[in-house]
Amino acid sequence: MTNNAESQVLTDGFHLVLDALKLNGIKTIYGLPGIPITDLTRMAQAEGLRVISFRHEQNAGNAAAIAGFLSGKPGVCLTVSAPGFLNGLVALANATTNCFPMILISGSSEREIVDLQQGDYEEMDQLAIAKPLCKAAFRVLNAEDIGVGIARAIRAAVSGRPGGVYLDLPAKLFSQIMDAEAGKKSLIQVVDPSPRQIPAPEAVQRALDLLKGARKPLILLGKGAAYAQADEEIRTLVEKTGIPYLPMSMAKGILPDTHAQSASAARSFVLPEADVVLLIGARLNWLLSHGKGKTWGGKSHKDWGGQKFIQIDIAATEMDSNVRIDAPLVGDVGSCVSALLAGMGSQWAQPPAEWLNAVAERKNKNVAKMAETLAKDPSPMNFHSALNVVRDIIKANPDAMLVNEGANALDFTRSIVDMYKPRKRLDVGTWGVMGIGMGFAVAAAVETGQPVIAVEGDSAFGFSGMEVETICRYNLPVCVVILNNNGVYRGTDKNLGGGADVAPTVFVKDSRYEKLMEAFGGVGVYAATTAELRKGMEEAIRLRRPTLINAVIDESAGTESGRITSLNPAAALKK
Ligand code: ADP
């Protein structure tokens, strides 16, 4: 832009935002255009950024969050003010809870009017609302501060424990004009945004001493370990120590699930039996029964099982959050695992054979039992027979991404479908939230270029289902498999009041979900048998075409709340 009077070259807020993002290696914006950011999305495309435009901000936000997990760079989501911002906020809060780096950028209305509550178009004090729900929140009022604002947002998102950051950009900022040269100089290319954090030598020694004395050691890998991209170091540690390991759901594949040391099939045996547990990027939250109770061999649900814990985590405040951590190892996973390896020297004793044999015995028994179940091919299909097909497809295509949400659809997929490579399984995460499906699927395809298989419960799919249009619009190689049992948990519930309405958990029977995909030019498949499901999935992967497979399973298959029945208050009443 040129100012003729002085022939001075000018820039504006729009371009400074885009230039700052580009300068920091951001290549894709996930979002939904509208006032006041419509032009920003157009200009972003013009400036060579990829803009993936969604049908609902929550899905765009989920896409940005998982892009952050996959790439280690903040995923960027762009929304309009008030309602659009609020829709995106669900994803921002979820990203923060899951430690995914993400920046939600929302346009907002003018401060002067918002602060006096004079009733502007989509008026809302967005910064104040976002603050408690994310790691950091910033607002930029002047064009010359855009560089600092974006730099601070990037650092806050990816340094230390990653998380969600909110960046508030009032509409007037975009049209502010400044000298182009001065504008360029005001931008910051962030140096070393997620610096390594090296653990203290005495903390490493403490951890090694504890591990050395263990009779029944266990390693637990969490999604922090997957995020850290320290795959080689982790594999070396596991194999050098010979310790059995358990992957949390999104850590599956850091080592292949078929690895001899995987204790997944003996989970309920190793947790209460282990004497020393090494946690790598995994929190002792509800997903691990808070490190105590019967799962861990305690007598009642609050009892300590007697295990000693070594915990590797980048957040020092995570230590002792649920039970005592005997050897905290604060630092990034790569540095901590390398330090442990260095401290072990060339000789490190393997765990006692008695422990390894006991784990192997339990594991082999359970694997054989599962193989028997998977070999059955009932009509109609059930979760096991349908997921046996997905299991084969992933085995044949280990680079494919797997997105997974639902209740039973989640639990069964996690235990049946083996993963072979790191960061391939993306799921409901720490909150067990529904609605991540299509947002994650879109970003998984965009970020990796690999085929994506999204295994969805029929209820879970409904939260983001409209994004099949987005999948078709960008012609993404996404194959959605809906495990359709006509309802939430299952389709057989009855109206307890005896009225004409169906039960709250029941959907329209025999819904033809595949026609949704056909409506936008994708491939729809109705699969009543495992052969039809297999053929549909194989074609989807081969042709890389947007596909939705309506996999019809027994409507009585599935349990209430899946495997977390104990968290359902009704279960407590029944006791
Ligand atoms: P899971 O649900 O798989 O058990 P969590 O989300 O509970 O995993 O835990 C992930 C943990 O990893 C968090 O406590 C987070 O602070 C930690 N973390 C994330 N990135 C890193 C990293 N690069 N180095 C060390 N710890 C990390």
Beta partners for residue 138, in sequence order: 167
Number of Cβ within 10 Å of residue 373's Cβ equals 12
The predicted model gives 359-380 an average pLDDT of 96
First to last CA, the chain: 72
Distance 161 CA to ligand 1 centre (A): 7
Q: Has residue 243 got a pLDDT over 70?
A: yes
User: What does the buried/exposed string (b/e) look like for 494-503 if buried means 16 or more CB atoms within 10 Å of the residue's CB?
Assistant: eeeeeeeebe
Cβ-based burial of 573 (10 A; exposed 0-12, middle 13-18, buried ≥19): exposed
CB of 247 shorter than 6 A to ligand 1: no
Alpha carbon distances (Å) from 561 to 39, 416, 531: 44, 18, 29
Residue 531 one-letter amino acid: A
Strands in 547-552's sheet, in edge-to-edge order, are 425-427, 401-405, 452-457, 478-484, 547-552, 523-527
Residues 386/409, Cβ–Cβ less than 8 Å: no
Q: Report the chain's mean pLDDT, rounded to a whole number.
A: 96
SS3 content of the chain, % helix, strand, coil (to 5): 45, 20, 35
The predicted model gives 101-113 an average pLDDT of 96
- C-alpha 337: how far from its chain's center? 23
CB of 315 shorter than 6 A to ligand 1: yes
Q: Has residue 334 got a pLDDT over 90?
A: yes
Q: Has residue 2 got a pLDDT over 70?
A: no
Q: How confident is the model at residue 6 (pLDDT cuts 50, 70, 90)?
A: low
Q: Has residue 568 got a pLDDT over 80?
A: no
What is the architecture, at CATH level 2, of domain 2-186? 3-Layer(aba) Sandwich (3.40)
**Domain residues of the chain, as ranges?**
2-186, 201-361, 376-574
Distance 281 CA to ligand 1 centre (A): 4
Rounded distance, CA 444 to CA 447, Å?
5
Distance 283 CA to ligand 1 centre (A): 7
pLDDT of residue 332: 98
Which residue's CA is minimally distant from atom 21 of ligand 1?
A: 224
DSSP character for 200? P
Distance 498 CA to ligand 1 centre (A): 48
Which among 453, 462, 460 has a CA at the least distance from the CA of 548? 453
Query: Which CATH homologous superfamily contains domain 376-574?
Result: Thiamin diphosphate (ThDP)-binding fold, Pyr/PP domains (3.40.50.970)
Total count of residues recorded for the chain: 575
Unique residue bearing structure tokens 């309920």: 268
Token duo for residue 575: 């006791």
Residue 334 Cα: closest atom of ligand 1: 24
pLDDT of residue 559: 82
Token duo for residue 303: 């009892």
Residues 279/253, Cβ–Cβ less than 8 Å: no
Rounded distance, CA 90 to CA 125, Å?
17
The predicted model gives 41-61 an average pLDDT of 98
Dump pLDDT digits (tens) for 251-265.
Answer: 999 999 999 999 999
Token duo for residue 194: 């997620």
Unique residue bearing structure tokens 């067990």: 432
Query: What is the C-alpha radius of gyration for the chain, rounded to an integer number of angstroms?
Result: 25
Q: Has residue 3 got a pLDDT over 80?
A: no
Distance 9 CA to ligand 1 centre (A): 46
CB of 335 shorter than 6 A to ligand 1: no
Q: Has residue 244 got a pLDDT over 80?
A: yes
Which 3 state secondary structure label does DSSP give 378?
coil
Q: Has residue 4 got a pLDDT over 80?
A: no
Rounded distance, CA 570 to CA 437, Å?
27
Q: How confident is the model at residue 378 (pLDDT cuts 50, 70, 90)?
A: very high
Rounded distance, CA 285 to CA 289, Å?
6
The predicted model gives 18-23 an average pLDDT of 98
Dump pLDDT digits (tens) for 276-330.
Answer: 999 999 999 999 999 999 999 999 888 999 999 999 999 999 999 999 999 999 9
Residue 331 Cα: closest atom of ligand 1: 25
CB of 161 shorter than 6 A to ligand 1: yes
Rounded distance, CA 232 to CA 258, Å?
17
DSSP character for 275? S
pLDDT of residue 452: 99
Which among 237, 269, 434, 244 has a CA at the least distance from the CA of 340? 237
Which residue's CA is minimally distant from atom 20 of ligand 1?
A: 224
Number of Cβ within 10 Å of residue 284's Cβ equals 24
pLDDT of residue 562: 76
Unique residue bearing structure tokens 């999935």: 537
The predicted model gives 521-549 an average pLDDT of 98
Distance 194 CA to ligand 1 centre (A): 14
CB of 448 shorter than 6 A to ligand 1: no
Lowest mean pLDDT among 5-19, 70-84, 281-295: 5-19
Which residue's CA is minimally distant from atom 6 of ligand 1?
A: 98
Residues 1/9, Cβ–Cβ less than 8 Å: yes
The predicted model gives 66-78 an average pLDDT of 98
pLDDT of residue 572: 60
Token duo for residue 461: 């799919």
Q: Has residue 362 got a pLDDT over 90?
A: yes
Distance 256 CA to ligand 1 centre (A): 20
Distance 512 CA to ligand 1 centre (A): 39
The predicted model gives 102-115 an average pLDDT of 95
Q: How confident is the model at residue 212 (pLDDT cuts 50, 70, 90)?
A: very high
Q: Has residue 522 got a pLDDT over 60?
A: yes
Residues 533/527, Cβ–Cβ less than 8 Å: yes
Query: Domain 201-361's class?
Result: alpha beta
Q: How confident is the model at residue 566 (pLDDT cuts 50, 70, 90)?
A: confident
Give phi and psi for 545, each to the nearest 5: -105, 145
pLDDT of residue 5: 56
Cis amide prior to 546 (ω within 30 degrees): no
Q: How confident is the model at residue 7 (pLDDT cuts 50, 70, 90)?
A: confident
Unique residue bearing structure tokens 């442990």: 340
Rounded distance, CA 273 to CA 214, Å?
12
> Is 376-574 in the same CATH topology as 201-361?
yes
Residues 168/107, Cβ–Cβ less than 8 Å: no
Residue 227 Cα: closest atom of ligand 1: 20
Q: Which residue has the higher pLDDT, 323 or 573?
A: 323
Token duo for residue 227: 């995020």
